[in-house]
């Protein structure tokens, strides 16, 4: 389960636009990305890795953000 608040903060802090992130990870629709960020759909392992690379998320932070037991 994705910790929406932490992921959104990392996206905001990065200065990258969602449209750029979508393009880089191969998601075509904004609603799909929002659905994944908000836990309506799951990220694939490939998408998680690409997001971590783009946002410079360390492995220990990746686990807290993308594999949260209780997400906000």
**Does pLDDT of 35 surpass 60?**
yes
Show the domain range for 55. Answer: 4-62
User: How many structural domains comprise the chain?
Assistant: 1
Residue 67 belongs to some domain of the structure: no
**Does pLDDT of 70 surpass 80?**
no
Residue 69 belongs to some domain of the structure: no
| Residues 6+ away with beta carbon under 8 Å from 36 | 2, 27, 42, 43, 47
pLDDT, one tens digit per residue, over 40-57 is 999 999 999 999 999 999
Residue 53 contacts residue 59 (beta carbons within 8 Å): no
Residue 72 belongs to some domain of the structure: no
pTM of the model: 0.89
Mean per-residue pLDDT, 16-27: 94
pLDDT band of residue 68 (cuts 50, 70, 90) is: confident
What's the rounded Cα separation, in Å, for the pair 25 and 69?
24
**Does pLDDT of 27 surpass 70?**
yes
Residue 69 contacts residue 11 (beta carbons within 8 Å): no
């Amino acid at each position: 389960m994705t910790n929406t608040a932490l992921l959104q903060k990392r996206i905001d802090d990065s200065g990258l636009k969602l449209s750029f992130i979508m393009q880089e990870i191969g998601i075509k629709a904004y609603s799909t990305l929002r659905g994944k960020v908000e836990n309506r759909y799951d990220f694939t392992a490939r998408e998680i890795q690409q997001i971590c690379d783009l946002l410079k998320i360390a492995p220990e932070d990746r686990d807290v953000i993308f594999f949260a037991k209780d997400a906000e």
